[in-house]
Structure 1
């Protein structure tokens, strides 16, 4: 992989993107798609994934797809090993995720949802990033992007599992970044606010500073290409993070409990 990664994608790159059937993952696939770039696109929904692949191929990229559910960590690790053995991955972007909140009238999220969300948002991405880091470190090159969230900065009563899993991926990402710098493997934590994707479109309530998905994909890809350790956007969420840090916790929690957000069921 070329030493300078600050600009557009380069010929010869192999980029693996999870959650590529819609939202940020699909937008990232379109950003990177061009002649000479090879894309490995993973998602659960094969029909939607093939639509992303067709669009990427129309831009000249070579594309392979896999129907993968990240709640199955062993299958995901096996698939990554097979893919990397066949064609070493230059950039791994772990954008797949779940964002369920507490159902109306419930006291907390269900245990089943908590387990699956923990696997998809934290455990499997950690395992995949660790495997990728080991392989890339031996090659002395590589990029890994992990999808966190500004929700990880706050104690969200409506989304305890989501905010907790994203907080976990955030600390893992910055720790892995510290470990991998000597081997020229750059790890980027992406912590966005609200992005206009099918995931956010399920929510009813205020979504401050909503970012168009194409704009978000450009910001994310450029941060990964440049090897930035952390990307938080929009900028206003850096202020809310600092504000909550200085507020007494009981006051912050009282404010957060007052948030009124509803969520429609997922169509997937």
Structure 2
């Protein structure tokens, strides 16, 4: 296992589980998140497991600051793996017909622009070094036109296409790019929705997929069937199903 790993969105459910799974003697973690208090506690947990930990409290909507911090850290001590987990899952506000423009901008910046720009910066630097692994966390929802989450699904769909294109751009340079497309997940004690899985399972499978250099991980795999179901249905029937999912 390479020893220098970046995890963005480290205070979130999946980012936290990834950091705790990776924490061990010899591992050097750079944990990024907006919530400094949550980040500091996670860093303490990872250090207790034997890892060396640095933290960066940063809002990724400040893209210029994020790119400067990333380039500075990578220049000082190159990253072997970057797990770009940070994202927002905002949906349609109660009573609204469509999402507010400000929400669309925020989702686009956090879910697409920031991770894509950070991945591009690292992919270029890793290609020069001839090694590196990048993971971009999307969502199974990116395959569906969700009327109650157009900004979320749309921004993640853009990220999915970018991840695939970036993977091809660095092919043969020793750099792998993995798109992770999870369905519903939560901490094991908080599982409540049908089909929801434990974040620990997503983290475990994600680490394995990244280390294997896979192009994409869909978890649980049944969401692959839903993706093909969406593509193969006649549009009028698909539209009727998607409209039935609109939040009350």
TM bracket, shorter-chain basis: over 0.9
Q: How far apart are 1:207 and its partner, in Å?
A: 3.5
Question: Is it true that 1:123 corresponds to 2:109 in the alignment?
Answer: no
Distance in 2 between residues matched to 1:56 and 1:220, nearest whole Å: 19
Q: Is the partner of 2:87 in helix, strand or coil?
A: coil
Question: Is it true that 1:216 corresponds to 2:209 in the alignment?
Answer: no
Q: Structure 1 length normalisation: TM-score?
A: 0.89
Question: Is it true that 1:150 corresponds to 2:140 in the alignment?
Answer: yes
Aligned residue pairs: how many?
247
Cα distance change, pair 197–165 in 1 and its aligned pair in 2 (3 A): farther
- Counterpart of 1:66 (choices 40, 56, 59) is 56
Distance in 2 between residues matched to 1:170 and 1:208, nearest whole Å: 25
Q: How far apart are 1:22 and its partner, in Å?
A: 2.5
8 Å CA contact 2:187, 2:200 repeated in 1: no
Q: Is the partner of 1:182 in helix, strand or coil?
A: coil
Paired residue for 2:123? Answer: 133
1:121-143 Cα deviation digits (max 9, x unpaired): 00011110000000000000000
Q: How far apart are 1:261 and its partner, in Å?
A: 4.6
Q: How far apart are 1:235 and its partner, in Å?
A: 1.3
Paired residue for 1:4? Answer: none
Question: Is it true that 1:170 corresponds to 2:156 in the alignment?
Answer: no
Paired residue for 1:97? Answer: 87
Distance in 2 between residues matched to 1:149 and 1:102, nearest whole Å: 17
Distance in 1 between residues matched to 2:238 and 2:138, nearest whole Å: 21
- Counterpart of 1:245 (choices 227, 231, 241) is 231
RMSD: 1.6
8 Å CA contact 2:147, 2:246 repeated in 1: no
Q: How far apart are 1:208 and its partner, in Å?
A: 3.4
Q: How far apart are 1:230 and its partner, in Å?
A: 0.4
- Counterpart of 1:227 (choices 206, 213, 225) is 213
Cα distance change, pair 225–126 in 1 and its aligned pair in 2 (3 A): same
1:216-262 Cα deviation digits (max 9, x unpaired): 11011111111100000111111111111111122112111111557
- Counterpart of 1:50 (choices 18, 21, 40) is 40
Q: Is the partner of 1:183 in helix, strand or coil?
A: coil
Q: How far apart are 1:167 and its partner, in Å?
A: 0.4
Where in structure 2 are there 5+ consecutive unaligned residues?
none
Paired residue for 1:186? Answer: 176
Q: How far apart are 1:197 and its partner, in Å?
A: 5.0
1:16-63 Cα deviation digits (max 9, x unpaired): 000001200010001111111100000000000111111111110000
Distance in 2 between residues matched to 1:210 and 1:114, nearest whole Å: 26
Q: How far apart are 1:191 and its partner, in Å?
A: 0.3
Distance in 2 between residues matched to 1:179 and 1:233, nearest whole Å: 25
Q: Is the partner of 2:171 in helix, strand or coil?
A: helix
Paired residue for 1:27? Answer: 17
Cα distance change, pair 93–133 in 1 and its aligned pair in 2 (3 A): same
